[in-house]
Structure 1
């Protein structure tokens, strides 16, 4: 019989305790991991919230002043009236008497064509006229002779009772008279034609001298002495004359979006590159109905009348014009940025434990819209900075010059600080 003690079988409690021990270790590790995750999230939230103090509102004071609305357009200066002087006849240019920028008077000789051929043709026409005039005189004498011969034949026939001359001789005398009448008419027609040729030759000879048709200044000269001028279907332009440069026209292109505001008689100012520091006055003379389309952009030509007594402005200069279409004095003005400003949604501060910051939250319900008292497209609001918070103020928008806008509001006063922007400020 052995003295070795017998082993006691484990009880149910011991079995359950042994099987619960690994699960306890696993739960402990899960709790440790969750704690580390919560610590990391809390550190992230703390650093994020401590990085800035919150937004700083940029404000601008409401002012009272004048506002001017202008329409900007570009164009070129032109003389009010430009006259092109050309030549109706062909020939060689013998002399040119004027140059660019020369002032000329009406009837002044500008150039002279070579008249050798024209004078020869005129002398030939005059000689032909003289010969035809001599034929007219000869035809008249022949006609008179035929009339007298017929009259004698008729007198003899009357005295002889129709016996002499014979009927044949009498008919021949009458035919001769008729031929004399026709010859005289032919000679007179030839003389008239020759007279016309002489007149044409004299006219051509006169047109060989190129004269100014108006008082003005020479803008362009396209001919030189010795150059051949060929006048065929249309007269070649030799000189361009501007009648008067003390008054000029500025033709600008106004866009279709602005043309409805532009009216005849409106004042305007413009500048040119030649005098960048000088502003020239002008006034609208005409707004043309015909449209001009360039690269799918529709514009309308508008003519501005310009005074140029000192002759500083020259034809062809490119000008930028500002047309004053509206002006209001002593009105409330706010910066345009204040009309565009909308307060951003600020995140609510986290309440409760760090775990609640990490847990998903239900979506925020939409904020109620703040309605203005006005209606229509020109109604909006601005935000005023007060000691407590931002306050919306309804306003009615009127004129704007691109930087400031005229507004009407019963709640807005001069000196109120309207918010134009926000900036994040570092801690």
Structure 2
């Protein structure tokens, strides 16, 4: 018993108990460390609320240039990518059949004209004979029967001449038609444009009996038309004349600006196969399929950067504010009733957090406009983590797992 009461050992026991007490206090009773937060600065810039839509770039005008004559394509005068002028030769089709038809029509016209000349000569002769019989009849020198015969012959000659004149007119029409068909053997450009597709190659035979076969596709590429698919939920907010900007998949940082020209009254499904009632398949299926409407706008394309069927990531600007203060939406705390005021947490110069009330304007769900309550450059909290003091100190000391009480023990 005296051995345990030696002063040296007593001092050791007291020192150990004191050290344990300090460790327990540090682990379970030390103040919480400052919260770990993520912050963002209040910035000044432009803010907009927009409707997002995916668009497809098309040529301002696209024409399928076809052949109205049947036969072999003897010559294709253009190549893919060529720029052509209105009236320029596109292709020539073997025109032997059309030439022969023109020759035959011209021969028929000459024959009809010759016969008309003979009919007119007969008419003139009958007219002279009738005049003589009238003179004789007026002097009682001729028989009545002879006068009647002469008048009948005159009427017959006049009818034959008129009939032959109509035949000449028909022959002339056939010549014009044959000459027109011969002209169809030369396919000409209907407008200025660029050859964007060659459908029929040189040497290929085309048949224009039922429909005009396409030789090439010609497009105006100096101006492009974009059709952006707008969801039915956003269409009521979109108005003609609103600003639009879009970016290409290959140039996501470049904004190309335009103005909304039109919104198609029917949904995009109207172009699809319709049922007997005339409604589109998307309309009939109802809510099962999403409904979209095309918003249309044009943009100049002088350098040819925009190409047919490119994808345009489009934003239709509903409203915008320039040079305003804004913060991330993630920084907004509770809203004050139905007002435009929110609570935010601001990081002070000393690192301490401060609750503050701010007034918010435009909100595009990414950033919100600050009308008052914050200054440019201040930092607001966007996310916050609060680790427990016991866990951090115990882990730092290396024996937190042994000293931390189990949840089942509480």
Provide the TM-score with structure 1 as the length reference: 0.70
For residues 101 and 40 of structure 2, the distance between their equivalents in structure 1, rounded to whole angstroms, comes to: 89
The aligned runs of 1:28-427 (5 Å cut-off) are 56=35, 58=37, 60=39, 63-69=42-48, 70-159=50-139, 161=140, 164-243=141-220, 245-259=221-235, 260=237, 264=241, 266-273=243-250, 276=251, 279-292=254-267, 296-339=289-332, 341=333, 372=336, 375-376=338-339, 378-383=340-345, 393-410=356-373, 412=374, 415=378, 417-418=380-381, 420-425=383-388, 426-427=391-392
Q: Tell me what 1:351 maps to.
A: none
Report the Cα offset of residue 188 of structure 1: 0.8
Report the Cα offset of residue 419 of structure 1: 6.1
Report the Cα offset of residue 206 of structure 1: 1.0
For residues 380 and 152 of structure 1, the distance between their equivalents in structure 2, rounded to whole angstroms, comes to: 118
1:272–1:50 Cα change, 3 Å: same
Contact 2:69/2:93, CA 8 A, preserved across alignment: no
Contact 1:139/1:183, CA 8 A, preserved across alignment: yes
Give the 3-state SS of the residue equivalent to 1:175 in structure 2.
helix
Give the 3-state SS of the residue equivalent to 2:387 in structure 1.
strand
For residues 46 and 132 of structure 2, the distance between their equivalents in structure 1, rounded to whole angstroms, comes to: 108
Give the 3-state SS of the residue equivalent to 1:396 in structure 2.
strand
1:280–1:97 Cα change, 3 Å: farther
CA offsets, 1:353-399, max 9 Å, x none? xxxxxxxxxxxxxxxxxx83x644x4443345799x98754443322
For residues 214 and 91 of structure 2, the distance between their equivalents in structure 1, rounded to whole angstroms, comes to: 12
Which runs of no fewer than 5 residues in structure 1 stay unpaired?
1-45, 343-370
CA offsets, 1:141-195, max 9 Å, x none? 1111112222222223333x2xx53322221121111111111111111111111
Give the 3-state SS of the residue equivalent to 1:424 in structure 2.
coil
Give the 3-state SS of the residue equivalent to 2:291 in structure 1.
strand
Report the Cα offset of residue 196 of structure 1: 0.8
Provide the TM-score with structure 2 as the length reference: 0.72
Which runs of no fewer than 5 residues in structure 2 stay unpaired?
1-24, 269-281, 283-287, 393-410
Most deviating of 192-201 and 279-288: 279-288
For residues 361 and 92 of structure 2, the distance between their equivalents in structure 1, rounded to whole angstroms, comes to: 65
Q: Tell me what 1:362 maps to.
A: none
Give the 3-state SS of the residue equivalent to 2:35 in structure 1.
strand
Aligned pair count reads 342
1:234–1:49 Cα change, 3 Å: farther
For residues 298 and 122 of structure 1, the distance between their equivalents in structure 2, rounded to whole angstroms, comes to: 55
Q: Tell me what 2:13 maps to.
A: none
For residues 103 and 59 of structure 1, the distance between their equivalents in structure 2, rounded to whole angstroms, comes to: 57
For residues 200 and 385 of structure 1, the distance between their equivalents in structure 2, rounded to whole angstroms, comes to: 87
1:165–1:419 Cα change, 3 Å: closer
Contact 2:78/2:90, CA 8 A, preserved across alignment: yes
1:314–1:331 Cα change, 3 Å: closer
CA offsets, 1:304-337, max 9 Å, x none? 3333222232222122234454443454433322
